[in-house]
Amino acid sequence: MKNTSLDPASMKILAELQKNARISANELAEKIGMSASPCWRRQKELEDNGYIIRYTALVDRKKLGLAVCCLAHITLARHEEGAVKNFEEAMRLRPEVVECYETTGNADYLVKIVVADMEAYHNFLHNVLVKLNGVSQVNTSVALREVKYETALPL
């Protein structure tokens, strides 16, 4: 179910900013069909109300030598507050971990990891993941190719 608390103009602003966050205020206003000042105020309101979390640059990981993308399904042995908290904090602190989700199903977490090569993943797996207190199982899928990568949310 989509959020209906925003009016169509605000939704258009979000859609345009997801495509290009560097768009000028005047260009954004023109695309939305508003004058610049009200459009800027709405954008500021979306920021203030937490709809826009931050502005960022999307970087081509392969051009940086991060050619391997792994999806690790991780199961914890214990689900005590301390074990869960320690695992999640460890995931937040690792630069290789770009996404981490607590999930339903056979595993407790799905972790997306980007590294230069399989040796780097092997090192991460054996020197970090399996050494974390409470991790009982790690099943990894390696992405063969990227079929779709989209950061824009469906509005």
pLDDT at 55: 96
pLDDT at 81: 85
- Beta partners for 110? 73, 101
CB 135 within 8 A of CB 77: yes
pLDDT at 2: 60
Render each residue's pLDDT in the chain as its tens digit; 155 residues. 465 689 999 999 999 999 999 999 999 999 999 999 999 999 999 999 999 999 999 999 999 999 999 999 999 998 888 999 999 999 999 999 999 999 999 999 999 999 999 999 999 999 999 999 999 999 999 999 999 999 999 99
3-class DSSP state of 82: helix
**Token pair 């206003």 is at which residue?**
29
- Burial letters 116-129, b for 16+ CB under 10 A, else e: eeeebbeebbeebb
pLDDT at 101: 99
Domains located in the chain, CATH noted = 8-48 (1.10.10.10), 62-142 (3.30.70.920)
Which of 21, 25, 24 has its CA nearest to residue 37? 25
Strand locations in 21-142, DSSP E? 68-76, 97-102, 109-115, 135-142
pLDDT at 6: 95
50: left (phi over 0), alpha (psi -120 to 50) or beta: left
